[in-house]
Amino acid sequence: MTRVDESVMVWVSAEGVPQRLVWRARRYRVSDVPTRLSPTYPGWQTDAVFDPAITHPPEPRESWRFQGTGEGGESLVFDVSRDPWGERWRLLRTYE
């Protein structure tokens, strides 16, 4: 497992299920059935504790895990999270 915190482009179906991903200028197509992860919160991929000055909990984020296969046949498993206020996606983890 590799922890990552980078912006990625994710294309989803009409139902909101990931279908494609572009990371570091490489395209991956979803090559298995994506799994919706439990609602996550910003910073969940680190061991950081939220500052006690924060008065409201952060908004939960929609997160998915899926296998992506590149054009050369290489496959990785990705954990991605969507910003609840927009269409931006973050890559949180990869697994070989």
| Rounded alpha-carbon distances, angstroms, from residue 92 to 18, 38, 46, 56 | 15, 14, 10, 23
Q: What is the maximum alpha-carbon separation in the chain?
A: 48
Q: How far apart are CA 95 and CA 32, in angstroms?
A: 14
Residue 19 tokens, joined: 């279908």
pLDDT of the residue at 51: 60
pLDDT of the residue at 77: 97
pLDDT of the residue at 57: 63
pLDDT, one tens digit per residue, over 53-94 is 666 666 667 899 999 999 999 999 999 998 877 779 999 999
Domain carrying residue 30: 2-95
Question: Taking a C-beta distance cutoff of 8 angstroms, is the pair 68, 21 a contact?
Answer: yes
**Count of domains observed in the chain:** 1
pLDDT, one tens digit per residue, over 12-54 is 999 999 999 999 999 999 999 999 987 655 554 444 555 666 6
